[in-house]
């Protein structure tokens, strides 16, 4: 009887301490994730509107300008927060949003969500990186596994790895599923996260960027031109060299979207509906949009046409929003500069006001 | 396959289960031998041939030495064969390039053109360890202290037993072969003590040594990019790293062997708390010191021919010990320094040192160790010289490109110190293992939970694997 009891006690001790450690482990600091999410969790109750999406949102939408324009259009007193984070895809964004909604934000009336593609592919060369680990809680992992069936192709540079995997000969999605399950397992333990925990507890690491002060001053918007990181600077230099290609990219969008098949062929509508339902359950309204990144978005085109998620604001369409296309408004192919961000924020406010007026809705919680 | 990798834990779990399930001692030993060969093949299967050759030659030599009875010339001939084959393999793979390169340099310096070929052979992991083990077998039979192994299987398992195959402790045939005579009993295994020892070894290697290694590596890659403080910190960090790395490995090796029912000798006893360099070497890598004492120092005459000859013998032992660690002038110099200090301690100076109060004595030993280990760790004498200059100057680190001192290095050093002093001095492992079963399980589980965040996903190879 001693041995089974001892083994049980071992398990209890291990799980209890591990869980305590997991709760102490901070979010990854990279790309603004930690500071923006921590700020949002603390202050989300002060905001009416939340933008959530990738770096296109982080650099491209200025909440102050957005509110100012809304006020001019007859919707005063709206406070918005930009929760855009560099490299944040749909599953990570959904996970972050769930954390924010768990705070039961009293004032939050609208969640403006960038291009929810629900792509479960893991694009980083090293799948086991902190950025992927943090969002692999049980429910988000299950959602990602369920979305696998909608992925037609593996990322090109991972094809060989997946083919060589012991399960790869059956289907390339199986090694990918194993990666998701591995990330889930990793997420359950504080394995290898001691230095971060100590840095966080003892406040040793420098304050992650953007700083709390900057976040409060700009309501989450980050000026891409200020203290640009090396990768961001390289993208800018690359854009300056190849700026002639911008017009070609814009020209290709309509054709690429026209060729796309119906939504059901390659899109996890159930994941989207679940997300929208969670937003509504928290007392807010969802609104989807596509950022002006010069890339086609056939799924969002099909979703917009189907209408099951309401109107999708597709700012990437050059014909519909020509004011976003001038090359001098861009930092690189994917991001607007500060001036471009001002133009997009005003335009977004105008479209948002149009929707509010058409629906007889308010930007505030009723 | 490192002991701190999950695949080793899976491998060991399987070996443990199957080995205890096997009822017959022969089948059990055969299985453990296969598992040991599999373990070694996971590094590089090609070098299994060297282990097999070593085993074969020593098996044959041992039988023939024993069978020769009083025919001394025949006994000596078979011993020489064993020495030539084993040391020949070691010299070829480990030292040939060093000696050829050094000779080329010397002849070039003398103006005589020379181009001895350099072989660029890969060093088979653990070769210095298992070569010394097999040599102990034939040497002990020659000295009539051991009878030949009762079966080739026993000898093969003694040479290749996986817990100690690649980095010791260096087990003597006369202490391991008798353990193979009968199947061990599970009831006689102190499971709790073994689990605690394995856990402590794991923490030393994975949580402490691997945490210190990046800073030490960075300093030794750019020795000109540190000031005095950085150089001293790096020396302290390396002293802690190599202790945690090597003693951590041997803790796990001893624990694995214990769980399989076998006893391996102790290899470390709080060496940094000793009060003389001579005493240090009876507490650090104890089994290597024992091997050199039995098979080199005593045959050279030991201390039987007076203090002068004894000092020379000690110096020779430490010179060879330096070379055993690696084929480079840094190791030769390191061995000479330790030989010189140990020899000096045999003079009147030693008497004066023995009268030192505890703290100055500890400072003396640790200073000698830390400074000499800068040479040991450096990839070249030039690198060592740069770091030693930095240590003994008042220079500040360069204004740009200096190796940054990580903030967590202080707690890791404190952790290493705590493991070294508190653990070894207070017999915590014995007290821990003596707790009632469920309380032991709960505390071990909690301790593993505390250690998990400090385990690196990409462990560095053991430092002593390079030897």
Residue whose C-alpha is closest to residue A307's, from A280, A352, A276: A276
Across the interface, do A189 and B452 touch by the CB < 8 Å criterion?
Answer: yes
Round to whole Å and give the CA distance between A230 and A276: 36
Query: Would residue B235 count as lying in a domain?
Result: yes
Domain count, chain B: 2
- In chain A, which residues have their Cβ closer than 8 Å to the Cβ of B455? 191-192
Confidence (pLDDT) at A1 = 59
Asked if B227 and B324 sit in the same domain, the reply is yes
What would the pLDDT profile of B23-66 be if each residue is shown by its tens digit? 999 999 999 999 999 999 988 888 888 899 999 999 999 999 99
Residue A5 falls inside a structural domain: no
Same domain, B151 and B222: no
**Per the structure block, which two tokens stand in for B228?**
């005095």
B105 CB neighbour count, 10 Å cutoff: 11
Asked whether A158 and A179 are in contact (CB, 8 A), the reply is no
pLDDT in tens, A81-107: 999 999 999 999 999 999 999 999 999
Report the C-alpha gap between A100 and A278 in whole angstroms.
11
Q: What pLDDT, on a 0 to 100 scale, did the predictor assign at position B395?
A: 72
- Residues 309-328 on B with a CB inside 8 Å of A are none
| Res B463 pLDDT > 80 | no
Summarised one tens digit per residue, pLDDT across range B326-351 is 888 999 999 999 999 999 898 888 88
The residue with greater pLDDT, A302 or B125, is A302
Residue A99 pLDDT: 95
Regarding whether B244 and B213 lie in a shared domain, the answer is: yes
Residues B42, B129 within the same domain: yes
Same domain for B198 and B171: no
Q: Is the pLDDT of residue A287 over 80?
A: yes
User: Hey, is the C-beta of A201 within 8 angstroms of any chain B C-beta?
Assistant: no
Which uninterrupted H or E stretch holds A36? helix A33-43
In chain B, which residue's Cα lies nearest the Cα of A205? Answer: B407
Final residue belonging to a domain, choices B182, B213, B246: B182
B413-445 residue pLDDT tens? 888 888 778 777 777 878 888 899 899 999 999
Hey, are the CB atoms on B443 and A8 less than 8 Å from each other?
no
The predicted structure's pLDDT at residue A75: 96
Q: What is the pLDDT of residue B100?
A: 81
Q: Mark whether B414 and B274 lie in a shared domain.
A: yes
Question: Residue B81 contacts by C-beta under 8 Å, 6 or more apart in sequence?
Answer: B57, B61
Band (B400; pLDDT cuts 50, 70, 90): low
DSSP line for A192-210? T-HHHHHHHHHT-SPPPSS
CA angle, B158 as apex, B156 and B159 as ends, to 5°?
A: 65
Calculate what percentage of chain A has a pLDDT beyond 70: 99
Q: Is residue A269 part of a domain?
A: yes
pLDDT exceeds 90 at position B194: yes
**Residue A1 CA: distances (Å) to CA of A12, B88, B141, B384, B431:** 17, 55, 48, 58, 22
Tokens of A310: 């309401």
Do the domain assignments include residue B2? no
Same domain, B327 and B265: yes
Instruction: Give residue-wise pLDDT tens across range B212-247.
Output: 898 999 999 988 888 888 889 999 999 999 999 999
Query: From the candidates B285, B325, B338, B420, which is the catalytic residue?
Result: B325
Query: Among the three residues B138, B162, B182, which one is the final residue of a domain in this structure?
Result: B182
Mean pLDDT of A170-190: 92
Provide the CB-side half-sphere exposure for B442 (13 A, CA).
Answer: 8
Residue B459 forms part of a structural domain: no
Mean pLDDT of chain A: 91
| CA-based R_g, chain A, Å | 22
Average pLDDT of A173-189?
A: 93
pLDDT band (50, 70, 90) for residue B201:
very high
In a domain, A72, yes or no: yes
Indicate if B33 and B122 belong to the same structural domain: yes
Tell me the mean pLDDT in the region B166-171: 86
CB contact, 8 Å: B437 with chain A?
A: yes
Say what the pLDDT of residue B304 is.
84
- Which residues 16-45 of A have a C-beta within 8 angstroms of B? 16-18, 20-21, 25
Q: Which of B145, B163, B182 is the last residue of a domain?
A: B182
Same domain, B159 and B240: no
User: B19 lies in a domain?
Assistant: no
B15 part of a folded domain: no
B30 with B123, same domain? yes
Same domain (yes/no): B142, B169:
yes
Confidence of residue A184 (pLDDT cuts 50, 70, 90): very high
Per-residue pLDDT tens for A118-149?
A: 999 998 878 888 899 999 999 999 999 999 99
- CB nearest to A9's CB, from B438, B454, B455: B438
Question: Is the pLDDT confidence value at B123 over 80?
Answer: no
Q: How many CB atoms lie within 10 A of CB A236?
A: 18
For residue B95, what are the domain limits?
24-182
What is the arithmetic mean of pLDDT over B202-217?
A: 90
Is B404 part of any domain? yes
Cβ contact A22:A188 at 8 Å: yes
User: Is residue A129, in this structure, part of any structural domain at all?
Assistant: yes
Q: Which residue has the higher pLDDT, B463 or A248?
A: A248
Partners of residue A61 on adjacent β-strands: none
pLDDT tens-digit map of B86-99: 999 888 888 878 88
Of B207, B438, B449, the CB nearest to A21: B449
Taking the C-alpha atoms of residue B437 and residue B449, their distance in angstroms, rounded to an integer, is 18
SS3 per residue for chain B: CCCCCHHHHHHHHHHHHHHHHCCCHHHHHHHHHHHHHHHHHHHHHHHHHHHHHHHHHHHHHHHHHHHCCCCHHHHHHHHHHHHHHHHHHHHHHHHHHHHHHHHHHHHHHCCCCCCCCCCCCCCCCCHHHHHHHHHHHHHHHHCCCCCCCCCHHHHHHHHHCHHHHCCCCCCCHHHHHHHHCCCCCHHHCCHHHHHHHHHHHHHHHHHHHHHHHHHHHHHHHCHHHCCHHHHHHHHHHHHHHHHHHHHHHHHHHHHHHHHCCCCCCCCCCCHHHCCCHHHHCCCCCHHHHHHHHHHHHHHHCCCCCHHHHHHHHHHHHHHHHHHHHCCCHHHHHHHHHHHHHHHHCCCHHHHHHHCCCHHHHHHHHHHHHHHHHHHHHCCCHHHHHHHHHHHCCCCCCCCCCCCCCCCCHHHHHHHHHHHHHHHHHHCHHHHHHCCCHHHHHHHHHHHHHHHHHHCCCCCCCCHHHHC
| B202 and B178 together in one domain | no
Neighboring chain B residues of A11 at a CB cutoff of 8 Å: 445
Instruction: Give the residue numbers spanning the domain of A59.
Output: 15-359
Residue at B467 is within a domain: no
Q: What percent of chain A has pLDDT over 90?
A: 69
How many independent structural domains does chain A possess? 1
Residue B466 has pLDDT above 70, yes or no: no
Whether the per-residue pLDDT at B399 is higher than 70: the answer is no
| Mean of per-residue pLDDT scores for chain B | 89
End-to-end CA distance of chain A: give it in Å, rounded. Answer: 61
CB contact under 8 A, B438 and A16: no
B454: contact with A, CB 8 A cutoff: yes
In angstroms, the Cα distances linking A336 to A231, A291, B105, B463 are 15, 10, 62, 51
Look up residue B294 and give its two tokens: 């039995």
B325 labelled catalytic: yes
Min distance A24 CA to chain B CA atoms (Å): 11
Quick: pLDDT tens for A18-39: 999 999 888 888 888 999 999 9
B462 is a domain residue: no
Q: Which two tokens stand for residue B182?
A: 């009968």
| A7 falls within a domain | no
Check CB contact of B450 with chain A, cutoff 8 Å.
yes
Which chain A positions have a beta carbon within 8 Å of B413's beta carbon? none
| pLDDT above 80 (res B462) | no
For residue A80, the cross-strand partners are: A49
A185 CB near a chain B CB, below 8 Å?
no
């Amino acid at each position: 009887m001693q041995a089974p009891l001892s083994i049980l006690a071992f398990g209890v001790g291990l799980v209890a301490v591990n869980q305590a450690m997991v709760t102490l482990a901070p979010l990854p600091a990279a790309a603004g994730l930690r500071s923006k999410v921590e700020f949002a969790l603390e202050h989300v109750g002060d905001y009416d509107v939340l933008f959530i999406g990738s770096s296109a949102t982080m650099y491209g939408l200025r909440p102050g300008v957005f509110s100012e324009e809304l006020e001019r259009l007859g919707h005063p007193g709206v406070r918005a927060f930009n929760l855009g984070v560099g490299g944040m895809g749909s599953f990570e964004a959904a996970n972050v949003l769930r954390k924010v909604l768990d705070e039961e934000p009293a004032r939050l009336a609208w969640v403006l969500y960038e291009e929810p593609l629900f792509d479960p592919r893991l694009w980083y060369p090293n799948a086991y990186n902190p950025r992927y680990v943090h969002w692999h809680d049980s429910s988000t992992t299950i959602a990602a596994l369920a979305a696998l069936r909608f992925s037609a192709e593996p990322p090109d540079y991972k094809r060989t790895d997946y083919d060589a995997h012991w399960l790869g000969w059956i289907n390339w999605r199986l090694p990918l599923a194993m990666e998701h399950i591995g990330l889930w397992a990793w997420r359950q333990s504080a394995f290898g996260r001691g230095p971060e925990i100590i840095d966080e507890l003892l406040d040793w690491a420098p304050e992650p960027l953007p700083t709390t002060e900057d976040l409060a001053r700009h309501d989450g918007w980050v000026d891409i031109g200020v203290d640009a990181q090396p990768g961001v600077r390289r993208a800018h230099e690359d854009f300056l060299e190849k700026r002639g290609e911008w017009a070609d990219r814009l020209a290709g969008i309509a054709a690429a979207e026209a060729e796309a098949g119906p939504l059901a062929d390659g899109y996890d509508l159930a994941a989207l509906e679940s997300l929208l339902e969670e937003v509504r359950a928290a007392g807010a309204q969802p609104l989807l949009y596509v950022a002006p990144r010069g890339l086609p978005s056939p799924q969002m085109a099909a979703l917009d046409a189907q209408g099951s998620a309401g109107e999708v604001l597709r700012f990437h369409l050059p014909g519909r929003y020509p004011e976003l296309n001038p090359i001098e408004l861009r930092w690189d192919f994917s991001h607007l500069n500060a001036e471009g961000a001002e133009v997009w924020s005003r335009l977004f406010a105008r479209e948002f006001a149009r929707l509010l007026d058409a629906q007889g809705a308010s930007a505030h919680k009723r | 396959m490192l002991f701190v990798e999950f695949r080793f834990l899976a491998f060991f779990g399987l070996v443990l289960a199957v080995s205890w399930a096997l009822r017959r001692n022969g089948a059990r030993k055969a299985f453990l031998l296969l598992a040991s060969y599999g373990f070694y093949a996971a590094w590089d299967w090609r070098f299994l041939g060297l282990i097999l050759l070593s085993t074969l030659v020593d098996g044959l030599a041992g039988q023939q030495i024993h069978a020769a009875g009083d025919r001394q010339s025949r006994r000596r001939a078979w011993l020489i064969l064993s020495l030539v084959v084993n040391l020949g393999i070691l010299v070829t793979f480990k030292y040939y390039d060093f000696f050829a390169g050094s000779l080329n340099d010397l002849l070039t310096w003398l103006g005589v053109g020379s181009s001895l070929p350099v072989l660029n052979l890969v060093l088979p992991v653990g070769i210095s360890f298992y070569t010394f083990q097999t040599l102990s077998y034939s040497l002990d039979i020659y000295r009539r202290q051991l009878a030949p192994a009762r079966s080739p299987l026993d000898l093969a398992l003694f040479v290749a037993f996986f817990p100690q195959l690649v980095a010791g402790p260096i087990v003597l045939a006369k202490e391991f072969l008798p353990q193979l005579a009968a199947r061990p009993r599970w009831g006689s295994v102190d499971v709790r003590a073994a689990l605690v020892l394995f856990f402590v070894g794991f923490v030393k290697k994975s949580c402490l040594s691997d945490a210190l290694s990046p800073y030490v590596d960075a300093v030794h890659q750019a020795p000109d990019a540190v000031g005095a403080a950085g150089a001293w910190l790096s020396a302290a960090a390396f002293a802690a790293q190599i202790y945690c790395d090597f003693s951590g490995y041997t803790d796990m090796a001893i624990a694995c062997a214990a769980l399989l029912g076998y006893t391996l000798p102790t290899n470390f006893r709080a060496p940094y708390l000793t009060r003389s360099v001579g005493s240090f070497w009876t507490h650090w890598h104890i089994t290597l010191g024992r091997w050199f004492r039995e098979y080199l120092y005593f045959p050279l005459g030991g201390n039987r021919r007076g203090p002068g000859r004894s000092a020379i013998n000690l110096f020779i032992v430490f010179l060879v010990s330096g070379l055993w660690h690696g084929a480079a002038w840094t190791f030769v110099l390191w061995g000479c320094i330790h030989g010189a200090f140990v020899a000096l301690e045999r003079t009147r100076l030693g008497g004066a040192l023995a009268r030192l109060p505890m703290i100055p004595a500890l400072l003396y030993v640790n200073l000698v160790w830390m400074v000499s280990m800068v040479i040991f760790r450096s990839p070249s004498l030039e690198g060592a010289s740069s770091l030693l200059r930095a240590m003994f100057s008042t220079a500040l680190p360069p204004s740009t490109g200096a190796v940054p001192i990580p903030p967590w290095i202080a707690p890791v050093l404190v952790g290493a110190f705590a493991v070294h002093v508190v653990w070894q001095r207070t017999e915590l492992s014995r007290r821990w293992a003596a707790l009632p079963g469920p309380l032991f399980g709960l505390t071990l589980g909690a301790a593993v939970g505390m250690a998990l965040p400090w385990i690196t996903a990409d462990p560095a190879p053991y430092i002593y694997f390079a030897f």
